[in-house]
Amino acid sequence: MKMTQQEVSAEILTYYSIPGPLTDLSRYSQAIDGLTDDVNQLTQVVQGIILHVLWVDRYKIIPTPTQLCQALTPRMTDLIDIVSKNNHEAPFAPRPPGSRVIACCREFATLLCALLRTKGIPARSRCGFAAYLAKQGYYEDHWVCEFWNGKSWQMVDPQIDGFQLDSIKTYANNQQNIDPAYQAMLLSLNPMNLTEHHFITAGKAWQLCLNGKTNPECYGLDVDPKPYGLDSLHGLWFVRGNLIRDFLALNKIEIQPFVAGIEKIPQYWEGWRLITAKDNELTQEENALLDRIAELSIEPDTHYQELRTVYEQTPSLWPPKGLLVVHKK
């Protein structure tokens, strides 16, 4: 449900216009002062310095170790440090693909979020699932960015540049026996203004799965699970992880995606029960908590005060200290 300008309080807009511990770019504030306030152009800035790890082959790039960010939960300053070290142009100047930092969708969304907040524009990263990055009938693990356009929250996918958008629409036009509704969804994709047909927040996916309206096995990540010691990267457990990540992002804690964490260290998620427990191991109280944060995350402005309170008062939702030093803001 979209809320009007009158319904979204000044407190909420102020909260999301101030950087959190992972989106603080104050060290680069002078360089950011020289950037435009235009969201379209800031999106192009992000695209000019990050390259998605799963699109590297499409851009015909062989990444070097210095392009990768080794921080367990990269702050946006970590990314810009790498960009500046690898290429001595101005920090936010566009780089050719071979000189960009290699990252994932979380970094695209959260860097745009950080730039907008530095400019005083309310913004928040959102974790969920994209229909336009998945095969027909499935929803791919993904992050996007919401910003306040003066009247409502507008959802943007800063990862999808012109090349990727053309690739998606070419696929839609050339695929044989494609479902008309799926094809229409792909062809209508506007990365600067996503709709609920294109991106589903994790809280919404959680409710759809529990209500039997969709199959949990349709949500996840379409990569080989075996290198991660798993049989599958789909299912309700995966939705649960994204639900927690989205809830944290609404509290300005933009933690790593599931696979990105394991790629840092295999034990990345160990010790965080709500992430690692099997579905049948969760207690009634834990399931009730998950149901509640799903409800809060679907309408975060309506439930803003409770969303903040639940986070502050529920240590089981905090990332382990090894992943994030700052738990609360």
pLDDT tens digits, 55-78:
999 999 898 888 988 888 899 999
Q: How far apart are CA 72 and CA 280, in angstroms?
A: 29
pLDDT value, residue 63: 86
Instruction: Considering only residues 178 and 2, tell me which one the structure prediction assigns the higher pLDDT.
Output: 178
Q: What is the average pLDDT value for the chain, to the nearest integer?
A: 94
Check: CB of residue 105 under 8 Å from CB of residue 257.
Answer: yes
Beta strand 199-201 with 50-52 is: unpaired
Phi first, then psi, for residue 201 (nearest 5°) are -65, 155
Helix (H, G, I), strand (E, B) or coil at 126: strand
Q: How far apart are CA 233 and CA 204, in angstroms?
A: 19
pLDDT value, residue 329: 36
CA atoms within 13 A on the CB side of 200: 25
**1 Cβ neighbours under 8 A, 6+ residues apart:** 299, 302
pLDDT band at 6, cuts 50/70/90? Answer: very low
Tell me, what amino acid is at 210? L
What average pLDDT does this structure show over 181-208? 98
For residue 2, pLDDT over 80 is answered with no
What average pLDDT does this structure show over 35-53? 97
For residue 326, pLDDT over 70 is answered with no
**Residue (of 54, 52, 33) closest to 42 by Cα position:** 33
pLDDT band at 125, cuts 50/70/90? Answer: very high
List the Cα angle 133/63/257 in 5-degree steps: 45
Tell me, what amino acid is at 140? E
Burial class, 28, CB count within 10 angstroms (exposed 0-12 / middle 13-18 / buried 19+): buried
pLDDT value, residue 302: 96
Phi first, then psi, for residue 269 (nearest 5°) are -95, 0
For the stretch 263-293, pLDDT in tens is 999 999 999 999 999 999 999 999 999 999 9
For residue 327, pLDDT over 60 is answered with no
Q: How far apart are CA 301 and CA 306, in angstroms?
A: 10
For residue 328, pLDDT over 50 is answered with no
For residue 39, give both structure tokens.
């969201």
For the stretch 24-35, pLDDT in tens is 999 999 999 999
pLDDT value, residue 1: 44
Helix (H, G, I), strand (E, B) or coil at 208: helix
pLDDT value, residue 25: 97
For residue 28, give both structure tokens.
């680069």
Phi first, then psi, for residue 247 (nearest 5°) are -60, -45
pLDDT band at 249, cuts 50/70/90? Answer: very high
pLDDT band at 87, cuts 50/70/90? Answer: confident
**pTM higher than 0.85 for the full model?**
yes
What average pLDDT does this structure show over 38-49? 97
